[in-house]
Structure 1
Amino acid sequence: MQVAPSKHLARVIKHYLFIDGVQGPVGLQQLRFFTDGNANLVFRLRETKLAQGSFENQGGPFIVGGIKTNKNFAVLGDFSVIIVVFQPTGLYQLTGIPSYELGQETIYGTSVLDSSITTLQEQLESCYKAEQQVDLLDAYFLGCIQKGIHPMDYRFSEVVKSILNARGQSKVGQLSKGYQYTERSLQRAFKKYLGMPPREYLRIVRFHNFLGFLNLESDYATLTSIGLTAGYYDQSHSIRDFKDFTSLTPKEYVAKTNRLATNLVCLT
């Protein structure tokens, strides 16, 4: 279930994603998360055994930054998670931490937000109604905003908005000229706010545009037309990007995964 945050949080949080009560098979199952260009804060609730690398024996909230490809998580049995999906520059605005410092690794929430994030997790675990959990999340992040938003170059917000509106089909040179950046200064801004070069972000946005069409149209025979609509110049190009980001082909994504969210699937 996807829920919008308070309108006062819309500039920093895209939405909350609730995945609750998923019945797993006996033993481990594999979840694959792939990039959407945004940082994500994950709360594991009610003794959810969700592991990725060094997080295997830990239960606290963790952050998956603007990764460039995908990550696999192992889960044992049922699980319940709440994912806070930030706007592209939302985590920077809340913390002031340059995105390149977050890197590609999964990191503890307390290393980016303060220890109060663990108190929030305890509060989320103590209630079972999504409406109450949303209220808790809104209250926490509104409190963060009240402490002050870290300023950023207003031009960059417009650059990101332009890319999203164009569904990743923008040109770097046009962006730099249109928003009065040199290409070098635009590269630095992307590294600071998103942790990746502009061309990589453009690829991610275009890929998610393709993914959105694919989720609406599951007929594999239409893959070529879907790719062209999403801005790819041929089918091999779209499949190459798809495999780079997901380690799956579009056909495997449609036929061999249980899609819990657009960019979170259970491998079957």
Structure 2
Amino acid sequence: MQISPPKYLAPFIRHYLFLENNEKDIKNVRLFTDGSTGLILSATMNLYSYLSGDQMPLSFFYGNLNTYKDFYSKGKFSFIAVVFQPYFLNSLLQTSAKEVKNQIISVEDVVKDTLHPFQEKLFYKTDPLLIMEDLNLFFTKFLSEKMGSEYQFIAAVQQYILQNKGAVSSKSLEKFTGYSERHLERKFENYMGISPKKYSNIIRLHHFLSLMKQENNDENMTLLSYHAGYSDQSHLIREFKKNVGLTPKQYLNTKNKMAVNFIEL
């Protein structure tokens, strides 16, 4: 279930997701980059890192990902994901987004009991829509008290990249912002955790995903890659495997896509 925030929160929150697995069998799942940061709220967390075997914190923030992360579940799980505009985590945690890139940060380590009421409501199986409404109030209060103004510049650059579907050059960004490539890169990495070039590549990849998933699309992969701004199909496949860990056709054939960038393997 995906729910959009109120319009006044849209510059900070992309959407909410409620994901639930009621099967007891072990599942292998993959989260891959979409250029966003976010918050995962859960009452029971049965997800474990495939790489380290560590159990994920009950609730956690996640920074911008360079690639993908694999997990496995031990039994049932359910959680609400708050998918942020990538620069919002910088303001919430009051730290450089570059420092939390690829990181998972336990909620308890940074905001202590602030989000505990939402975990309790999930534990007692409160309607997720009611919890999301309460989260809207929580984030509105935060914005009224602590949000700075420079995010507006970063948000404008982000929108420029989104409107061009990731097909932007360093020169076009310099012309749009009036900043040198290096100066813009420093600002972007502080607020977004990644460079403008990396973010543009992610947006272009997700534009290709949207083209690939369109119904009744009879065009071949070469044409689709061209329409998405890739120089050739081999370039597309390299970028896709780097970010998703699969080829485009393997992704397309993946049956259980819990979200566009969260899939069961």
TM-score normalized by the length of structure 2? 0.91
Tell me how far apart the structure 2 counterparts of residues 7 and 30 of structure 1 sit (CA, whole Å). Answer: 35
Q: Report the equivalent of 2:159.
A: 161
* Partner secondary structure for residue 27 of structure 2: strand
Tell me how far apart the structure 2 counterparts of residues 214 and 113 of structure 1 sit (CA, whole Å). Answer: 40
Q: Give yes or no for the alignment of 1:50 onto 2:37.
A: no
Q: Report the equivalent of 1:215.
A: 213
Q: Is 1:61–1:118's contact at 8 Å kept on the other side of the alignment?
A: no
Q: Give yes or no for the alignment of 1:142 onto 2:140.
A: yes
Tell me how far apart the structure 2 counterparts of residues 79 and 220 of structure 1 sit (CA, whole Å). Answer: 38
Q: Report the equivalent of 1:37.
A: 35
1:1-268 matches, within 5 Å, as 1-20=1-20, 22-24=21-23, 26=25, 28-45=26-43, 47-52=44-49, 56-57=54-55, 59-152=57-150, 154-217=152-215, 222-267=220-265
Amino acid at match of 2:2: Q
Deviations 1:99-158 (A, max 9, x none): 012131222123344431233222333343122121121122122223221332543321
Matched residue pairs, number?
264
Deviations 1:223-256 (A, max 9, x none): 2222112111211111111100011111111223
The change in CA–CA distance for 1:218 and 1:37 in structure 2 (over 3 A counts) is farther
Tell me how far apart the structure 1 counterparts of residues 207 and 135 of structure 2 sit (CA, whole Å). Answer: 28
Tell me how far apart the structure 1 counterparts of residues 8 and 124 of structure 2 sit (CA, whole Å). Answer: 25
- Give the C-alpha shift of residue 219 in structure 1: 7.0
Amino acid at match of 1:19: L
Q: Is 1:124–1:136's contact at 8 Å kept on the other side of the alignment?
A: no
* Partner secondary structure for residue 74 of structure 1: strand
Q: Is 1:12–1:91's contact at 8 Å kept on the other side of the alignment?
A: no
Tell me how far apart the structure 1 counterparts of residues 23 and 230 of structure 2 sit (CA, whole Å). Answer: 36
Tell me how far apart the structure 2 counterparts of residues 174 and 74 of structure 1 sit (CA, whole Å). Answer: 42
Q: Is 2:230–2:236's contact at 8 Å kept on the other side of the alignment?
A: yes
Q: Is 2:118–2:131's contact at 8 Å kept on the other side of the alignment?
A: no
The change in CA–CA distance for 1:153 and 1:3 in structure 2 (over 3 A counts) is closer
- Give the C-alpha shift of residue 95 in structure 1: 3.5
Tell me how far apart the structure 2 counterparts of residues 120 and 68 of structure 1 sit (CA, whole Å). Answer: 29
Cα RMSD (Å): 2.2
The change in CA–CA distance for 1:152 and 1:110 in structure 2 (over 3 A counts) is farther
Amino acid at match of 1:260: M
* Partner secondary structure for residue 84 of structure 1: strand
* Partner secondary structure for residue 185 of structure 1: helix
* Partner secondary structure for residue 221 of structure 2: helix
Identity score, percent: 33
- Give the C-alpha shift of residue 8 in structure 1: 2.7
- Give the C-alpha shift of residue 185 in structure 1: 0.7
- Give the C-alpha shift of residue 191 in structure 1: 1.1
Q: Is 1:163–1:169's contact at 8 Å kept on the other side of the alignment?
A: yes
Deviations 1:61-89 (A, max 9, x none): 11221011000111123221211000121
